[in-house]
């Protein structure tokens, strides 16, 4: 089936009669239109279910379990720069080893005077799944707060909020409580956690130096953007009596990829670029065509593709003559038959 006109016999790239959507007036059938509701979540017609099976996924962030979070995460003060607008902003960055994508807040994008390309992605957490809109920003660079060693970041996707808060930012007074970490000096800036960097930026995540934990304390890792502290720095139990935990893995998938997967699953048509394995009969047929084709008196001739080279055909000349005689009699008797015969 063609996705441009919903007719059979050709595919969409060969379609010359594409339908126009009655909602957005773009060149696609109305049944394939994607609506955005007031919450910013995209939805489709119920029967057009989107497949969620794909190897092209990204993961990011964490989910808070308790209202009060005393846990510590790999958060460091950095400076992020946009060469396009020649703007540099100081912010906190969360180095998330459980993320394969890099994200920033919409507030940070506005400070950098960037908009990016609009697209849609699927965010999936434990038991929760949403399709949300986002902007993709390219060309950002990040560096330590006190250095100009800027590192190029991959494409960054925007979100309204990061799944971390300033409560997760390690403080210098917490570090000073551990004697083996007293050589580490942290930067304290007036900013929120507006950047989440994943493993698609390995130059940022790469560890250069390690200070092992002692007495069930945290450990520290030196990166090109500064020291990050991992582990409990404060009390692990809050006033409500429950332990504060975080759970990684938010699945991210581009909506375009999901649509292609669904269409490929429902309408499995072979494209001209795909290699088709031919059977023995197909190979034999093609050899007959290639070896017997010849031009005679302005006409091309090829041998009939018999299975056997020494095929013996029955003598059916008399049958052919009888058929011609029968057609001739009908042709002479019926004027209607004569018209139909001439037309054919």
Of 197, 229, 259, which residue constitutes the final position of a domain?
259
275 lies in some domain: no
76 and 200 together in one domain:
yes
Burial class (CB in 10 A: 0-12, 13-18, 19+), 63: middle
255 and 285 together in one domain:
no
197 and 104 together in one domain:
yes
87 and 177 together in one domain:
yes
198 lies in some domain: yes
224 lies in some domain: yes
Q: Per-residue pLDDT for 87 more than 70? A: yes
pLDDT the model gives residue 108: 93
Mean pLDDT, the chain, rounded, equals 76
pLDDT the model gives residue 240: 44
29 and 70 together in one domain:
no
pLDDT the model gives residue 177: 86
Cα separation, 232 vs 235, whole angstroms: 7
Tell me the pLDDT tens digit for each residue of 100-147: 788 999 999 999 999 888 887 776 665 566 677 888 999 999 999 988
127 and 210 together in one domain:
yes
Cα separation, 59 vs 102, whole angstroms: 9
Average pLDDT of the segment spanning 5-31:
83
> What percent of the chain is predicted at pLDDT more than 90?
21
53 lies in some domain: no
Average pLDDT of the segment spanning 305-329:
84
Q: Supply the pTM of this predicted model.
A: 0.54
Local confidence band at 79 (pLDDT 50, 70, 90 cut-offs): very high
Q: Per-residue pLDDT for 54 more than 90? A: no
Cα separation, 287 vs 289, whole angstroms: 5
pLDDT the model gives residue 40: 41
Average pLDDT of the segment spanning 195-219:
90
Q: Per-residue pLDDT for 5 more than 70? A: yes
Q: Per-residue pLDDT for 275 more than 60? A: no
103 and 230 together in one domain:
yes
Average pLDDT of the segment spanning 199-221:
90
pLDDT the model gives residue 65: 44
83 and 220 together in one domain:
yes
140 lies in some domain: yes
Tell me the pLDDT tens digit for each residue of 239-249: 444 444 444 44
276 lies in some domain: no
Angle between helix axes 335-343 and 317-333 (nearest 10 degrees) is: 120
Of 206, 227, 259, which residue constitutes the final position of a domain?
259
Residue 225: φ, ψ to 5° = -105, 5
218 lies in some domain: yes
Average pLDDT of the segment spanning 304-329:
84
219 and 315 together in one domain:
no
316 and 249 together in one domain:
no
Query: Could you give the C-alpha distances from 185 to 50, 76, 91, 221, in angstroms and in order?
Result: 49, 11, 17, 13
Residue 85: domain span: 58-259
Q: Per-residue pLDDT for 224 more than 90? A: yes
Q: Per-residue pLDDT for 285 more than 80? A: yes
Average pLDDT of the segment spanning 303-329:
84
pLDDT the model gives residue 123: 66
Q: Per-residue pLDDT for 89 more than 90? A: yes
Q: 330 in helix, strand or coil?
A: helix
> What percent of the chain is predicted at pLDDT more than 70?
71
pLDDT the model gives residue 227: 92
134 and 250 together in one domain:
yes
Cα separation, 24 vs 43, whole angstroms: 15
> Which residues, including other chains, have CB under 8 Å from residue 263's CB and lie 6 or more apart?
3
pLDDT the model gives residue 324: 87
Between 303 and 56, the higher pLDDT residue: 303
Local confidence band at 267 (pLDDT 50, 70, 90 cut-offs): low
39 lies in some domain: no
Of 226, 259, 292, which residue constitutes the final position of a domain?
259
| Count of structural domains, the chain | 3
Of 32-41, 47-56, 251-260, 302-311, the least confident = 47-56
76 and 138 together in one domain:
yes
Closest among 195, 196, 249, 234 to 68, alpha carbons compared: 234
pLDDT the model gives residue 255: 59
CATH of residue 245: 2.40.70.10
């Amino acid at each position: 089936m063609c996705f441009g006109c919903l007719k059979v016999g050709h595919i969409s790239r060969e379609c010359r009669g594409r339908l126009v959507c009655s909602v957005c007036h773009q060149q696609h059938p109305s049944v394939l239109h994607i609506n955005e509701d007031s919450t910013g979540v995209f939805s489709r017609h119920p029967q057009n279910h989107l497949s969620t099976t794909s190897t092209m996924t990204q993961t990011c962030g964490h989910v808070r379990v308790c209202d009060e979070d005393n846990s510590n995460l790999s958060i460091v003060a950095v400076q992020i720069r946009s060469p396009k607008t020649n703007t540099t902003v100081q912010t906190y960055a969360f180095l998330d080893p459980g993320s394969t994508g890099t994200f920033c807040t919409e507030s940070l994008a506005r400070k950098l005077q960037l908009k990016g390309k609009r697209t849609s992605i699927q965010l999936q957490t434990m038991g929760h799944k949403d399709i949300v809109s986002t902007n993709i920003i390219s060309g950002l660079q990040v560096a330590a707060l006190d250095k100009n060693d800027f590192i190029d970041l991959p494409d960054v996707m925007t979100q309204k909020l990061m799944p971390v808060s300033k409560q997760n930012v390690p403080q210098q007074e917490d570090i000073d409580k551990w004697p083996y970490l007293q050589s580490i000096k942290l930067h304290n800036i007036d900013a929120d956690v507006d950047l989440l960097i994943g493993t698609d930026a390995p130059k940022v995540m790469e560890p250069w130096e390690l200070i092992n934990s002692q007495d069930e304390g945290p450990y520290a890792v030196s990166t090109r953007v500064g020291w990050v502290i991992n582990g409990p720095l404060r009390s692990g139990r809050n006033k409500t009596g429950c332990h504060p935990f975080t759970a990684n893995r938010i699945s991210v998938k581009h909506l375009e990829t999901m649509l292609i997967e669904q269409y490929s699953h429902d309408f499995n048509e072979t494209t001209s670029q795909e290699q088709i394995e031919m059977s023995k009969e197909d190979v034999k047929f093609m050899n007959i065509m290639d070896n017997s084709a010849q031009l005679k008196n302005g006409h091309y001739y090829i041998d009939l593709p018999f299975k056997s080279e020494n095929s013996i055909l029955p003598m059916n000349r008399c049958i052919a003559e009888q058929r011609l005689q029968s057609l001739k009699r009908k042709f002479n008797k019926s004027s209607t038959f004569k018209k139909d015969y001439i037309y054919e």
